[in-house]
Amino acid sequence: MSAAAPTAREHGDTGTADRTPHRDPVGSGRSALLAVALFLCVRALGLAALAVRADSMGKSPRVLLSERWDSLWYTRVAEHGYAFTLNAPDGRSLSSTAFFPLLPWLERSVRAVTGLSLPAAGLLVTALASALAAWAVFLVVRHAYGDRAGVVCVVLWAAVPVGIVQSMAYSEALFTALAAWGLLCVLRERWVLAGILASLAGLTRPVGLAVTAALFLAVRLHIRSGTGTTRTRTRAVLGCLIAPVGAAAYILWVGARRGHVLGYLDVQDEWGNGFDGGWAFARFLTGGSTALAVLALAALLLLAYWPHHIGAKQLQPPPLIAYSALVTLLAVGASGYFGSKPRLLLPAFPLLIPLAVALTRRRPALTWTVLTTLTGASAVYGAYWLTGSGPP
């Protein structure tokens, strides 16, 4: 095993789930198919609930999924490049350069190949990316905890309250697919491929930094362990050099358009986005009261700490903890639109691993009752959430 993914036996831990590699590729292949099939079933139920709810309100599910809010901005980038700027009623100048380019590039490519409209192309990209993400989530969790935990974690990820975003022409599904496959390559010590996937994740969302950080940590642990040959260490360093290229290239390009290196931060500031460690979010939750905001911020930090603490006790591989911790920090600590925070946490699937492991230790009847209940609740919540007044 690699330094990034020590076994439970190596730590003398007999109370956690089995962390040894599985030797049954046929059985694991069937489990992977089951995980993806269950994911698609959960998402199909969510889309059915949305269709019923939207029809009762005279709205189009297709428009809600692919032609509003962020999905509309991605379509504009695919259609017009980065020439579009919206002058908001409050005087702000909102630039399309806030949106990273990989999703609109794929939308434009799919349109060229299939003849679909850009919104339809965006939905197709998301559908494929979300299925690939589910597959990768299964493989990542299986690597550490076995097939059953992998299947349960995929269903939990599909059934989170904001899971409907996995079916929207947003970048979360694409980013999660790239991040999860990248993390799998990190755990398997395929350093160069991990670096390429991290770079692509960085071309999808700013939080691609989390994948790069996970790779850096894994390489550091690998080198410190003293294992591997000179060739593998060289490949590890090469992966680290490749990983930040995607995000850095786009941010520097935006900076060149703006006339200074930090121009991308100006774009984010114009959109009202920044990073304050969660203070604005805490004040939002408490109605502006400073005393209550302090308590709320402490509660937010505790909630963010708990799954990472449990993951560490369950011997979760350090790169997974580093990745989910950074995604959580950037989501909770951002000062932008507060209604978007739940979906910003969607790529942090390792947060669900402690619950998945706990459910695998229960009777199957209880496990599937919990998963079925969560699936139904997610379908109803997603239908109401997406037909609400504000963007997700």
CA dihedral for 157, 158, 162, 167, sign (positive or negative): positive
pLDDT of residue 273: 78
The residue among 3 and 289 whose pLDDT is bigger is 289
The residue among 15 and 96 whose pLDDT is bigger is 96
Give mean pLDDT, residues 214-221. 96
pLDDT of residue 4: 41
pLDDT of residue 272: 77
Q: How confident is the model at residue 321 (pLDDT cuts 50, 70, 90)?
A: very high
Q: Which residues of 155-166 are buried (b: 16+ CB within 10 A; e: fewer)?
A: bbbbbbebbbbb
pLDDT of residue 257: 92
Selection from 84-98, 284-298, 332-346 with the highest mean pLDDT: 84-98
Radius of gyration of the chain (CA): 21
Q: Phi and psi of 298, rounded to 5°?
A: -60, -40
Does the pLDDT of residue 24 top 60, yes or no? no
Length of the chain: 392
Does the pLDDT of residue 53 top 90, yes or no? yes
pLDDT of residue 339: 66
In whole angstroms, give the CA distance from residue 133 to residue 140: 10
Reading phi first (left if > 0) and then psi (alpha if -120 to 50, else beta), residue 259 is in left
Does the pLDDT of residue 338 top 70, yes or no? no
Residues whose CB falls within 8 Å of the CB of residue 270, separated by 6 or more in sequence, listed in order:
92, 93, 94, 95
Q: Which residues of 360-369 are buried (b: 16+ CB within 10 A; e: fewer)?
A: beeeeeebee
pLDDT digits (tens, 9 = 90+) for 9-19: 333 333 344 44
pLDDT of residue 277: 60
- State the chain's mean pLDDT as an integer: 87
pLDDT digits (tens, 9 = 90+) for 363-375: 999 999 999 999 9
In whole angstroms, give the CA distance from residue 318 to residue 364: 29
The residue among 195 and 267 whose pLDDT is bigger is 195
Residue 391 in tokens? 């963007």
Task: Provide, rounded to the nearest whole percent, the portion of the chain with pLDDT above 70.
Answer: 84
Q: How confident is the model at residue 48 (pLDDT cuts 50, 70, 90)?
A: very high
In whole angstroms, give the CA distance from residue 236 to residue 232: 6
Q: How confident is the model at residue 151 (pLDDT cuts 50, 70, 90)?
A: very high
**pTM of the full structure:** 0.89
Q: Which residues pair with 382 in a beta bridge?
A: none
Does the pLDDT of residue 164 top 80, yes or no? yes
The residue among 387 and 90 whose pLDDT is bigger is 387
Q: Could you give the angle at which helices 25-56 and 118-145 cross, rounded to 10 degrees?
A: 140
Q: How confident is the model at residue 379 (pLDDT cuts 50, 70, 90)?
A: very high
Out of 6-15, 117-126, 305-314, pick the least confident. 6-15
pLDDT of residue 11: 36
pLDDT of residue 378: 95
Give mean pLDDT, residues 353-381. 94
Does the pLDDT of residue 380 top 60, yes or no? yes
Provide the 3-class DSSP secondary structure of residue 179: helix
